[in-house]
Amino acid sequence: MGNQRLRCPPNKTNLKGLNSNDFISRMPDDILIMVLSRLSVKEAVVTSILSTRWRFLWCNLKTLNFDARQALDNIDNDFRFYLSERYKYTKQVNGVIRSYNHPRLHHFRIRFYLTCEYTSVIDEWLKFAVKKKVESLELDLETNQKNYLHNTFNYSFPSRLSDKSTSHILIFPSANLESLKKLYLNCWPQYDL
């Protein structure tokens, strides 16, 4: 409990206008966030429509874990399935990036099969991570295991990534990002030494 950071000010339980049978709404925010952290990102975002109180609760999540490899690994070599999953995946990540309104994020994890066609999309994701002063960034885009992706080029990690609004610059390989503590990359970076 001591090392769990309260991302919103501690508040008394919200008893205004509650049903007498609405027990979950008597919980303080930090407990609801604990519950949300055990859901997938999509399920957590679904709760935003439950009531005005729940609308931005999911934005207090410290970890955004977009790991969609499992579904692809279970179905081998189906290119059409891959395409539909890829569409859903990028839509999900882009949607979350648009709506996530907390200034900081601890862990940002991307794990999927994507190639260089998605360079600008992935760059946007990285800009988001930079802007949110992420502490642990994981970008795992390994494509060599998929036969139908074998001959395409892999995503190149940008040698210089800046977000003009906050002037955070990530220079690979020495991560100059102030808050970044852990960086995991699996996307065959290319850079000039």
Binding residue for another protein (CB under 8 A) from 24, 71, 75, 169? 24
Is position 1 an interface residue for another protein (rule: CB under 8 A)? yes
List CB contacts of 99: < 8 A, sequence separation 6 or more.
Answer: 45, 48, 59
Q: What does the per-residue mask of binding to another protein show for 42-61, with x meaning CB under 8 A?
A: xx-xxxxxxxx-xx------
Judged by CB under 8 A, the number of residues near another protein is 35
84: buried, middle or exposed (CB in 10 Å: 19+, 13-18, 0-12)?
Answer: exposed
Residue (47 or 156) nearer to another protein, CB: 47
Q: Please, what is the minimum distance in Å from the beta carbon of residue 54 to another protein?
A: 8
Is position 95 an interface residue for another protein (rule: CB under 8 A)? yes
Inter-axis angle of helices 119-131 and 79-99, to 10 degrees? Answer: 30
Is position 21 an interface residue for another protein (rule: CB under 8 A)? yes
Tell me the three state secondary structure of residue 140: strand
Is position 67 an interface residue for another protein (rule: CB under 8 A)? no
Q: Are 66 and 41 in contact (CB under 8 A)?
A: yes
Residue (1 or 193) nearer to another protein, CB: 1
Is position 15 an interface residue for another protein (rule: CB under 8 A)? no
In this structure, what DSSP letter does residue 115 have? Answer: B
Q: Are 158 and 131 in contact (CB under 8 A)?
A: no
CA-CA distance, 131 to 103, in Å (whole number)? 8
List contacts with another protein (CB under 8 A).
Answer: 1, 17-19, 21-27, 31, 34-36, 38-39, 42-43, 45-52, 54-55, 88, 91-92, 95, 98-99
